[in-house]
Amino acid sequence: MAQEEDIKYFVRIGTTDLDGTKSVRIALTGITGVGRHTSSVISRMANVDEYALLGRIDEASINRLRTAVEQYSAKIPPWMSNRPKDVYTGEAKHLLGPDVALAKDEDVNLMRKIRCYRGIRHETGQKVRGQRTKSTGRTGTTVGVKRKKEGVA
Alpha carbons 41 and 117: distance in angstroms, whole number: 37
Residue 130 has pLDDT above 50, yes or no: yes
- Note the Cα 29 to chain centre separation in Å: 9
Is the confidence at residue 3, as pLDDT, over 60? no
Give the CATH fold of the 2-77 domain. Helicase, Ruva Protein; domain 3 (1.10.8)
Q: What is the pLDDT of residues 46-85, one digit of tens each?
A: 999 999 999 999 999 999 999 999 999 999 999 999 999 9
pTM of the full structure: 0.77
Residue spans per domain, the chain: 2-77
